[in-house]
Amino acid sequence: MPAKASSRRLQVARGYRRLLVPLDARTESVEALEIACRLAADNGASITAVAVIEVPPLLPLDAHLADAEETARRLLERAGVTGDAYGVRVRTRVVRARDVGAAIVEQAAADRDELIVIGAGRSRLAISERRVAPDPLLHVLRGAPCRVMVVSGASREAA
């Protein structure tokens, strides 16, 4: 067996070591973080929680967006508390970008993450590719440099 194949099997057998969790205000995002924390706790992995502030094209990337910045700060604080509850260190980042999906893919590549755990409602998963606006989830699924786990809040949506 080639050395690459055996090292790949070892990596999969021991679990993921670096996880990325994009956060937003949706329930599925919180569920994705909790699942990532369970995986990290089991494998001694690290988690990076990222909140992407999407900056409109007419504004400079460093424009002051008080509401978005406050929301991102609260999301990342909650991520740290959730990680503490699982005994997992969660690094937090705020990223400003024009495209949320591209920012997530770039962050995963820069950190050499092994798994992106992203929350998405079941209704979002059924959306056609012909949408006019770019869908961040589709961008991540198509461009991710690593595996992607999509956490769907189907049980809560059905209730």
pTM of the model: 0.82
Furthest C-alpha separation in the chain: 55
Write out the E strands in 69-146.
90-97, 115-119
Structural domains for the chain = 19-153 (3.40.50.620)
Lowest mean pLDDT: which of 81-85, 93-97, 128-132, 141-145? 128-132
Contact present, 151 and 117 (Cβ < 8 Å): yes
pLDDT band per the 50, 70, 90 thresholds, residue 125: low
DSSP string of 29-74, one letter each residue? HHHHHHHHHHHHHHHT-EEEEEEEEEPPTTS-TT---HHHHHHHHH
Binning pLDDT at 50, 70 and 90, where does residue 15 land?
confident
pLDDT the model gives residue 115: 97
How many angstroms separate the CA atoms of 123 and 138, rounded?
A: 13
Identify whether the C-beta of residue 117 lies closer than 8 Å to the C-beta of residue 36: yes
The mean per-residue pLDDT over the stretch 63-68 comes to 94
Q: What is the pLDDT of residues 84-102, one digit of tens each?
A: 999 999 999 999 999 999 9
The answer to whether residue 46 scores a pLDDT higher than 50 is yes
